[in-house]
Amino acid sequence: MKTQLTNLLSIEYPIIQGGMAWISDAELASAVSNAGGLGVIAGGNAEKALIKNQIDLMKSKTNKPYALNIMLLSPHAEDLVDLAIEERVPVVITGAGSPGKHMERFLSAGIKVIPVVPTVALAKRMVQLGASAIIAEGTEAGGHVGELTTMTLVPQVADAVSVPVIAAGGIADGRGAAAAFLLGAEGIQVGTRFLVAKECNIHPAYKEMILKAKDTSTVVTGRSTGHPVRILKNKLYRHYMALEKNGASPEEIEALGAGALRKAAVLGDMAWGSVMAGQIAGLVQTEASAKEIIEDIFTHMTTVMRRKL
Ligand code: FMN
């Protein structure tokens, strides 16, 4: 399938596997890239050496394009910027801040930069800075979220910028993908569905919780601290709610989230871990390989697009 995004990134399917801290390692990312999508290694809060190992592993598993996700609020963000340039990573996807001060270095190293944004204003600013494409992420997504829905954000961003727009948040099958393209997107970014990819190394209990999730299973915590995060409801969520109700300080509330994604993804603590997932988790019902997931989405999308109205 050809779109502006497949041309820009030299990939076969217009799909990006969302970067997921502690989760999207070289194994998942290479499976996605080898299947024709864009695999993404998540930088999260990790140190340079650890991510360098993942990039080395990635290079040993695929010669297809891939991306490094850099969370600009990470204490190691500057190191990861250096690493991306040293390793000539083909694409950098940025989140949690503006890549402005690094842009010149990225661009002169030939790296394509694709920021994740929750608003039209940020999308425009990123394009002025030299972004090659924009990921417009709606509040349906798992992890850190903004306010606008994918349905409302994608067409407004598509109208506002001249570069390809990638829709993220709430897409897990061909219907969601078809909707994204009809809204003006040139590609999709999928996170939650890849959590149950066979190549995804999260704790089995995490996968189980995604597979059992319903439409109403997710909730957004941290709105009171200005760092909203979408997770599956569990003890951690109920404790968050109790703290917020009792007027706890933002510091106390923030402290609950520290290390909580690792607790869920690596240690399998489904009670006190932050089990990040999107609203579409209710639709995700079977484990499959990354290749099967990608092929299923686009085969289904083609059928949906042919449907007579
Ligand atoms: N986005 C980032 O830019 N960096 C991250 O480290 C990150 N971590 C995530 C962790 C989890 C468990 C999930 C579910 C999402 C995360 N995201 C992160 C967002 C995804 O990259 C992607 O945009 C999002 O999952 C798309 O929406 P969906 O969950 O509805 O598919």
pLDDT at 217 over 70: yes
Domain contains 80: yes
pLDDT at 77 over 90: yes
Domain contains 210: no
* Domain co-membership, 84 together with 126: yes
* Domain of residue 31, CATH code: 3.20.20.70
* Domain co-membership, 23 together with 164: yes
DSSP state at residue 19: P
State the pLDDT at residue 55: 98
Share of the chain above pLDDT 90, in %: 88
User: Quick one: which H or E segment has residue 41?
Assistant: strand 39-42
Q: How far is the centre of ligand 1, averaged over its atoms, from the C-alpha of 307 (Å)? A: 30
* Domain co-membership, 250 together with 294: no
Domain contains 213: no
Q: What is the amino acid identity at position 27?
A: E
Total domain count, the chain: 2
* Domain co-membership, 134 together with 250: no
Domain contains 143: yes
* Domain co-membership, 191 together with 298: yes
Is the pTM here over 0.90, yes or no? yes
Say yes or no: ipTM exceeds 0.90: yes
Residue nearest to atom 8 of ligand 1 (CA): 20
State the pLDDT at residue 308: 62
Host domain of residue 260: 218-276
* Domain co-membership, 237 together with 197: no
- Does ligand 1 come within 6 angstroms of the Cβ of 200? no
**172 CA closest ligand 1 atom index:** 31
Domain contains 281: no
- Does ligand 1 come within 6 angstroms of the Cβ of 25? no
Q: How far is the centre of ligand 1, averaged over its atoms, from the C-alpha of 143 (Å)? A: 5
CA separation, residue 13 to residues 3, 33, 230 (Å): 9, 10, 27
Domain contains 212: no
User: Quick one: which H or E segment has residue 229?
Assistant: strand 229-232
Q: What is the pLDDT of residues 5-23, one digit of tens each?
A: 999 999 999 999 999 999 9
d(CA 176, CA 234): 27
- Does ligand 1 come within 6 angstroms of the Cβ of 19? yes
CA separation, residue 14 to residues 56, 178, 229, 231, 236 (Å): 25, 12, 26, 27, 36
* Domain co-membership, 258 together with 148: no
- 112-120, long-range: CB < 8 A, 24+ apart: 112/8, 112/9, 114/16, 114/67, 114/166, 116/168, 116/189, 117/157, 118/145, 118/146, 118/147, 118/148, 118/153, 119/146, 119/148, 119/153, 120/153, 120/156, 120/157, 120/160
* Domain co-membership, 249 together with 192: no
* Domain co-membership, 271 together with 296: no
